[in-house]
Every structure is written in C-alpha cells, then in structure tokens.
Amino acid sequence: MTDLAPPLPGYVRTKLVDPFEIFVGPVFETGAPGSRHFIFRVDERHVNGRGVLHGGMLMTFADLALGAAVWDATDYAPSVTLNMHTQFLKPSRAGDIVEVTPVLTRKTRALVFMRGEFTVAGEPVFTAESVWKLLGKD
C-alpha cells in the first residue's frame, strides 16, 4: 500500500495537481517557497524487476520538484519543460528516501535554468538539469 504519511518528521505532503504526479506520488516537502526541499520514499511501484528504483520515476520526481521550484521563482507563471539532462549515479531501492533541494541556476525573461542533486542518506544518486520556458514570454 502507498504510505501517505510523511516518511520523516517536519515534512508535509506536497500539493500535486497533475494526474501523473498524483499517480506516482505522494511527495513531501519542507521549507519556504524558493528554498523548498522535496523527498519521496521509494516503494514497490517504483522499482524494476531487480528491485532497483526505475529511472522513469526519478525523472518524474525531478520534473515535479524542479518544476515546483520554477513556480516559486516566477510567482506561479505557467511554464513548460523544454529540456532535461540527467545522470544516474547510483542505484536506489525500495525503502530509500530520495531528497532534493532544487537550485535556480539562472532566470531570464523567457527561460528558467534549474538543477538538482538528488541524494539518499546524504549520498548523491542522481542529477538533473532542466530548462523551462515561461509561456507567453519571448
């Protein structure tokens, strides 16, 4: 069963609106807008036949967390992901808690550049960089 309780004290459930994010979630967060820290607990739905966390779940979590940080940085302007570059550093397994604090690399009038280093128990497991387009801005 999916555990809806925060896996660590001090976290609240992130409000998700996209059906695919709700489907793979829950995700939890702590901290103020602009410096939010996101976590999720790997469960049986997220792993492959070898018990290893699927890259598709990590990339979905990255899109969600970095996208939330873009929202925070743009006063909730609508935006879309243009590109995501990822590196898979180390396998994770069910029960692991994956964490990230997205970092704003640069914001221009039309674009936001984000990055995140994802860790499990303090060790880097995955990195993502993404470029976001603010809709209606040239």
Partner 1 sequence: MPDGAVNVSLGGFNRFVGPLFRLPETAEDEVRRFAFIVTDKHMNSGGTVHGGMLMAFVDIAMSQTARAVSGAKSCSTVSLNCDFVGPGRLGDMIEARVRVTRRARTMVFMSAELVTGDRPLLVATGLWKLPIES
Which residues make up the interface to partner 1 (CB under 8 A)?
17-21, 23-24, 45-50, 52, 54-57, 59-61, 63-64, 78, 80-88, 91
By beta-carbon proximity to partner 1, the closer residue of 57 and 112 is 57
By beta-carbon proximity to partner 1, the closer residue of 1 and 32 is 1
95: three-class secondary structure by DSSP: coil
Nearest approach in angstroms of CB 51 to partner 1 is 8
CB-hemisphere CA count at 13 Å for 77? 18
Nearest approach in angstroms of CB 69 to partner 1 is 15
34: three-class secondary structure by DSSP: coil
By beta-carbon proximity to partner 1, the closer residue of 13 and 45 is 45
Buried b (16+ CB within 10 A) or exposed e, 12-45: eebebeeeebeebbbbbbbeeeeebebbbbbbee
